[in-house]
Homo-oligomer: A and B are copies of this chain.
Amino acid sequence: MTHTRTIQLNPVGWMSQLSQAEIELLAQHNDSERYQLFRICCLAVLNSGIDQDDMYALLNANQQFDVHLVRRERGVKIELINPPSHAFVEGKLIKGVHEHLFSVLRDLLYMENKYLLSSAECFAEGGVCTDMVFDMLRHANCLTTNEQLNTVVCWGGHSIREHEYKYTKEVGYQLGLREFNICTGCGPGAMKGPMKGAAIGHAKQRVKSGRFIGITEPSIIAAEPPNAIVNELIIMPDIEKRLEAFVRFGHAIVIFPGGVGTAEELLYLLGIMLHDSNVQQHIPIVLTGPAQSAEYFTVIDDFIGQTLGAKAQALYTIIVDDASAVGSYLYKQKAKVSAYRKAIGDSYGFNWALKIDADFQQPFIPNHESMAQLSLSFEQPSHQLAANLRRAFSGIVAGNIKAQSAADIQAKGPYILHGDERLAPLLDTLLKSFVEQGRMKLPGSVYTPCFQVTAP
């Protein structure tokens, strides 16, 4: 028989005060779906700092783990049963992790409440979807401090190589010296390096209120647990709202090397920026990596050039192996971002004016059928082509990682993507180069492609 370890956590932040009704919502019923989601998110957060991206391993190792809410005089406590020991130092939970647990509580309750009071479907629509993204960020108290135009969103792989990781730290350091804050998807790799670097840069500039914002989602948090440096954690309900949060919340975007997921993010971004309504928008975008990773960007840049054209290429700047130049470039762009927002009277803290089409807000659920139906031809406006390419990459990510998709592929063979005569070979080349560069799997494993590109 094992020993049961129980720890009660004092509430922190605004959520220390919950109403009776809210506590009811998350009270433990082992069978309730929302309770299970809450438990997994807590477990993920407690796994902070562990470099492991296998959600099932995590769950299996912690079957004895449980979590309860307990009302006490000074607010609602979270009670942990058999929490993983690596989140503790000298018997006390790391404060960053402690805060993250209450962020989980805050965001899951928010979603619950809104869904209860109204019909869930309405959140799929344009304006309402944007309002929900806004409301969750505001509710997490993220917006009032986001008016300095100094939030840099960093995207990139979570399992990059040592020299790439080191380079992300250097860029973070240069950003920190320029008093930028960092916002990422909050896992390891390119999502952690810039924060570590910026923390040192902030220390030298005596920035005590440096912000390290992690925006994640319930279905990914277990695979990419937030690093404890993240001092503002937000859990958006799905990938579409998460991506929308990044682009409306950040003031600039840096893309480090990554896998096909990173390419998906870049296509999402370009697809939006190519929309006619966004022609005046000013969002600085930098693609950067160390000298050894130069090829990654060459290949992507070529692909963008040949598919979306020079107009798309003009939206970003590639800087190779020069962290300080990345910092300087973004520093100088701030004036333009400010001028643009001022000119149209938009908020400094949330980019309301950015037009995001339904194409980018509606969830894409990849399977053999939906992948096969994707229109991958030049016979469409470039922002729609970008949207479809993003969906294709999204499907490949799922095929590589998600359990259900992987099983489907084992049963039915790889996803088939139908490209037109010009597009098919371009796509094939790009994806093969990712395989060659070893960006499809964690280093050391052999990759069996989950897709196949065919021309008509």
Contact = CB atoms under 8 A, between A and B. Distances in A.
Interface of A: 14, 16-17, 19-21, 49, 71-75, 89-90, 94-97, 99, 117-118, 127, 131, 134-135, 138, 141, 143-144, 147, 177-178, 196, 199-200, 203-206, 208, 212, 228-229, 231, 327-328, 331, 341-342, 345-350, 352
A21 B90 CA distance: 40
Number of copies: 4
A99 B206 CA distance: 9
A338 B389 CA distance: 62
Contacts of A71: 345, 347
A94 B204 contact: yes
Nearest to A12: B206
Given A134-B19, A206-B99, A73 B342 contact: yes
Kindly name the residue among A95, A96, A131, A208 whose own CB sees the greatest number of chain B CB atoms within 10 A.
A95
A95 B179 CA distance: 11
A135 B113 CA distance: 13
A333 to B, nearest CB: 12
A419 to B, nearest CB: 39
Contacts of A97: 204
B127 A20 contact: yes
Contacts of A72: 345
B17 A349 contact: yes
A177 B346 CA distance: 34
A323 to B, nearest CB: 12
Contact of A73 (B118, B178, B347): B347
A346 to B, nearest CB: 7
